[in-house]
Each structure stands twice: as structure tokens, then as C-alpha cells.
Amino acid sequence: MKISCIGAGYVGCVTGTAFAALGYRTTIIDINSQRIDALINGRSPIYEPGLDILIKKTIGNTLYADYSYNYVSNSDVIFIAVGTPSTNGGNVDLSYVEIAAKNIGENLNPFGFTVIVNKSTVPVGTADLVTTIIEETSGLKNGKQFAVVSNPEFLREGYALEDVFLPDRIVVGSNSEKASQIMKKLYSKIVTREGFNTFSDVITLNRKCHPSLPRYYETDVKSSEMIKYASNAFLAVKISYINEVARLSDALGANALDVARGMGMDSRIGEKFLEVSSGWSGSCFPKDTSEFLLTSQQENCELSIVASAIKSNKEMHDYCISKAVRSLGTLNNRTIGILGLTFKPNTDDARNTQASYIIEMLLKNGATVKVHDPQGAEMFKSLNGHLDIEYCSDPLDVFTEAEAVMLLTHWSEYLYIHWEDAFKRMHNPYFLDTRNYLKDIGLSDIGFYYEGIGVPSHKQSVTTSAASLIKI
């Protein structure tokens, strides 16, 4: 079986490389020549642990990369993994999917049967849209020479290879029996883990227990498209909920970490996604919750819980700022250091992160801001040119003459900062750890005024009303 993968991003690169590693001849196609050049030269165009190694092993053997859609005519399965960002209005922008579908249609093999797979996160009805575009551009017949299926992706950046090789579930939505059979065959190696030893060294097997075999779940196309949005929105709601619990814990003097642990022991709740933070962000949750909510409103069937989670999430960003305000009195003329610009560690993806909102608010309130991120600074800078901030290549430099430092992303290297040196560099040693990541390394003993979120500290707790202290 031969595969094409349209899009060499976080999903396309990982998916294409994974299928190549499983022995399928796979061509990754992208209009971004830098990404294709990187692949051709055996490098990953994105930062994702283990991916470089797997690309080096497969490129030129089973993995190929191309700027043109020529190889599409030679493929049995074509994944569409292009971006689906938000429009200014908050709905999904499907233009990249539409262009990809048009290009596929213009190159489709008229003599075979090709399965076109929507792997991008797309709203209900997109498979129908892609089908129409391909019929119009190719003159071929849906169900005869091709079929479009939905196969949403659930990988997490930073653990993408693990998630693609060892997923919890594979969801396939298809209205064509022939396409369903091809998809089942394609995924059989992942479902059975046949031949996994050859690349097990690059899978970051850090799950607490060895995961069981994935579930292969087949449904109709529309339900499959909905599963992705419903899942992401649910996870966003769960995070917003524990963050609200953390705010209440701050107000009442409870420990949100203990509360979360106690809640997570209930198998109906589960321990995952109960980690307190400055809020969810990144390239998926904000755009996916926005699209899902707007669609529900357009259908007069509002997902009010999702609406609340979005509102609550922004309040969580503000709450973190208000903690700093409460400690410093004002942000005006204060120097604030930021550790972490990506929405989570182990990725360079700095799209739509809480850091951009929080930094913008700090600047609006008169602060000077210095930032550090081990991998995401370059992308953050290219996306946030309007933010007048200092980028530091050494995390210690964000502490220099700072009145406060906020940790937003829990990169493991931050555990190894020379903390005595960091302390000496600060004008005022206020440290806000929005991930409660450094709570056990004794920062208070060094002299920092260390605060987490939802965990008791030795100063007066901050209530939600403190949000009124900042200019929004």
C-alpha cells in the first residue's frame, strides 16, 4: 500500500514518518519548501522528540518528501494533514483543506481506488465538502474511483510518536465499505503492534504502565468528525474545572494538588488533565473550542459548558497576572521574567499560547518583560512581533534585575537552573510557578517568595476579585 501525506507539520510529519517506519512507501507533500528541504536532508522540520532519528532511518528508503502533488496519482491512501486555523470570527478556516482537495482531485488516479483521509481537525460536513471538490476537479465518481473518510488525530505534541504508534484509540469514520477495509488494513500493524521492535528505541515510552492494544473504532463520517471536537472540548472543560478548583483552593487554603489527586483516584474521573496551570492554550484547544461553540450556536444548540470553559480559561490567565500584581502592588515600571513560551514542554509550537496573552497584559500594565524558552522562542517571536520584549538565550538572564519571574511552561531544564545565582540577580525575589512544578526544590529556603497556584503559601491568599487589579 502506498501513501501520500499532504502537510509536513506536527501531524503530517509524524503520521507520514510513522507509516514509512512501518514499511509503507510514504511521500510527504508540502507547499512549504523549507519543511520539504529539511525532510529531504533527513531532518525534522519541527521539534518533536525522536522524530529526527526516525526520519534519518526512513528517508530515501520508505519515506520521501516532495513539493508537488505528482505522487498523489500513485497512492492508495492520501492523508490530508494541513492546518485548520481559526478565522477572525472564530470559525475554522477550511481554505487549506479546500486547496489540498483541489490539488488531489487534479492528480487522482482514474484507474484505481484511492482513499482520501481527513486527518486535519475539521467540522462535521467537511468530508462531504472534500468529496464535492474532488468530484468537480477530477471528474471521477465518489465510491467508484475514490472515497473520503474521516480519521481524526489525537496525538500530543511532545509525545507524538508514542501517541501515533501506541494510541488509545484509532477512530475511522467511513460511509464506504471498500474504504473501511483499506483503512483497517493500513492500521493493522498499529493495532497488532506487528514489527514494532525495529523502532521501539525512538518511542518515548513514558506512560505509567505499558498501554494496552489500541481500540479500532469505526463509525460514520459525521460522528467521527464530531468525536475530535467533542474530545478536545471535553479536555478543555476538564482543565478549566480543575483551574477553578485551584482558585477556590487558594481562597480557602486547601491544596488543589491534593484535591486533584483525591479526585483522580475515582476511575470515573481519572487522574489525567487535572493539572493546575495558567490555563489551556496552544494550536488546538483554543481554535477547536471556538469552532465547536460557534457551530453549536449557529445550530441553536449552544454548548454552554464549552462557552463557560472558554471564559473561565481567560480568567485563569488573568488570575495569574493578578497574583503578581497582589505581590508587587503594581506592574508599572516592574521588570518581569517569563520562563516558557510554548503551551507545553517538549515542543517548539508557540502558536496561540497563554504566554502571548499574559505578556501582552503585563506590557499593557506598564511592565518590562524578558522571556526564555528552550525551543519555542523563534516561533513565538515570529508570531508576536508586536510584543516589545527581550528574548534571553540563557534562562538565568530573565532573573537579572527582575521584580518577579513567572514560570508558564514546565520545561525540565528549568529544574536545573542555578537557583542561588537566579536569586542574587533579582531586585525582588517573587517567583510565580503557574504549574506548581518547582514546589519541591526548596526555592523558599533560598529566599524566594515562591507561590504556586492552588497550593498554600505563607502570604495572604489571592482571591478571584484580584483580577480587578489589572487593566484588561
Ligand X SMILES: NC(=O)c1ccc[n+]([C@@H]2O[C@H](COP(=O)([O-])OP(=O)(O)OC[C@H]3O[C@@H](n4cnc5c(N)ncnc54)[C@H](O)[C@@H]3O)[C@@H](O)[C@H]2O)c1
Does 153 bind ligand X (CB under 6 A)? Our answer is: yes
Q: How many residues bind ligand X (CB under 6 A)?
A: 26
Alpha-carbon gap, residue 270 to 253, rounded angstroms: 24
Does 344 bind ligand X (CB under 6 A)? Our answer is: no
- The stretch among 6-14, 263-271, 289-297, 373-381 that binds ligand X (CB under 6 A) is 6-14
Alpha-carbon gap, residue 79 to 93, rounded angstroms: 18
Does 249 bind ligand X (CB under 6 A)? Our answer is: no
Shortest distance, position 290 Cβ to ligand X, whole Å: 12
Do 6 and 104 contact (CB within 8 A), yes or no?
yes
Does 100 bind ligand X (CB under 6 A)? Our answer is: yes
Does 405 bind ligand X (CB under 6 A)? Our answer is: no
Q: How far is CA 387 from CA 85, 381, 390, in A?
A: 21, 8, 9
Q: Which of 31, 230, 251, 269 binds ligand X (CB under 6 A)?
A: 31
Contacts of 358 by beta carbon, 8 Å cutoff, 6+ apart: 278, 317, 320, 321, 338, 406, 408
Q: Which of 23, 42, 93, 96 binds ligand X (CB under 6 A)?
A: 96
Does 32 bind ligand X (CB under 6 A)? Our answer is: yes
Nearer to ligand X, 104 or 422 (CB): 104
Q: Which of 27, 120, 278, 290 binds ligand X (CB under 6 A)?
A: 120
Does 7 bind ligand X (CB under 6 A)? Our answer is: yes
Does 234 bind ligand X (CB under 6 A)? Our answer is: no
Shortest distance, position 57 Cβ to ligand X, whole Å: 21
Angle at Cα 439 formed by Cα 438 and Cα 443, nearest 5°? 80
Does 155 bind ligand X (CB under 6 A)? Our answer is: yes
Does 12 bind ligand X (CB under 6 A)? Our answer is: yes
Q: Check 284, 301, 320, 392 and give the catalytic one.
A: 284
Give the DSSP per-residue string, 384-440. Answer: -TT---EE-SSGGGGGTT-SEEEE-S--GGGGGS-HHHHHHH-SS-EEEETT--STT
Considering only residues 271 to 290 of the shown chain, the ones binding ligand X according to CB under 6 A are: 283-284
- The stretch among 31-39, 124-132, 273-281, 433-441 that binds ligand X (CB under 6 A) is 31-39
Shortest distance, position 99 Cβ to ligand X, whole Å: 4
Helices 304-328 and 285-298: crossing angle in degrees, nearest 10, is: 140
Alpha-carbon gap, residue 5 to 7, rounded angstroms: 6
Nearer to ligand X, 327 or 347 (CB): 347
Closest CA to 344 of 285, 408, 432: 408
Shortest distance, position 174 Cβ to ligand X, whole Å: 19
Cell numbers found for residue 119: 486527518
Shortest distance, position 40 Cβ to ligand X, whole Å: 14
Count of beta carbons in the 10 Å neighbourhood of residue 275: 18
Shortest distance, position 344 Cβ to ligand X, whole Å: 10
- The stretch among 1-9, 48-56, 390-398, 462-470 that binds ligand X (CB under 6 A) is 1-9
Angle at Cα 114 formed by Cα 148 and Cα 126, nearest 5°? 15
Active site annotation includes 284: yes
Give the nearest residue (CB) to ligand X: 9
Closest CA to 349 of 285, 416, 393, 290: 285
Alpha-carbon gap, residue 166 to 163, rounded angstroms: 5
Cell numbers found for residue 472: 484588561
Alpha-carbon gap, residue 319 to 327, rounded angstroms: 13
Does 330 bind ligand X (CB under 6 A)? Our answer is: no
Considering only residues 53 to 92 of the shown chain, the ones binding ligand X according to CB under 6 A are: 81-84
Please tell me what DSSP assigns to residue 142: B
Shortest distance, position 73 Cβ to ligand X, whole Å: 15
* Catalytic residue list: 284
Judged by the rule CB under 6 A, the positions of this chain that interact with ligand X are: 6-12, 29-32, 35, 81-84, 96, 99-100, 120-121, 153, 155, 157, 283-284
